[in-house]
Amino acid sequence: MSALLAQAIGQLNLQPGQTYRTTCNGHEVEVRVLEKTSPAETPEEPSQFADQVMLNWWLEIPPSPNAIRVAVRPGKPMLPPPLELDESDLAPG
């Protein structure tokens, strides 16, 4: 949160349970003050994944017997010559 916004909200002097509503850029904005609680008082919610098994994704994949190696050499690519079209190639079949 930007310091300017935090300062503006602080100037509202809202007490716990109070709300402040305003319209900003065509949207309804609501600021609500909650009761102050310490982290020890807040019950921790159970994880939604607690009953699931974690997988270890570190694995080795054996090389494929169909794998091939390709030697690469720097230089100009060996491309086929460009196709040359004339008017007879453009006529309907």
Q: Whole-angstrom Cα distance, residue 70 to residue 34?
A: 65
Q: Which two three-digit tokens encode residue 67?
A: 């794998």
- The pLDDT, as a whole number, for residue 41 is 67
Which residue, 1, 29, 36, 30, is CA-closest to 15? 36
Residues 19-44 as b/e (b if ≥16 CB within 10 A, e otherwise) read eeeeeeeeeeeeeeeeeeeeeeeeee
Residue 37, pLDDT score: 72
Question: What's residue 77's pLDDT?
Answer: 85
pLDDT for the residue 43: 72
Q: What is the pLDDT of residues 8-67, one digit of tens each?
A: 888 888 888 889 898 988 999 998 888 877 666 667 788 888 888 877 777 777 888 898
Q: Is the pTM of this model over 0.75?
A: no
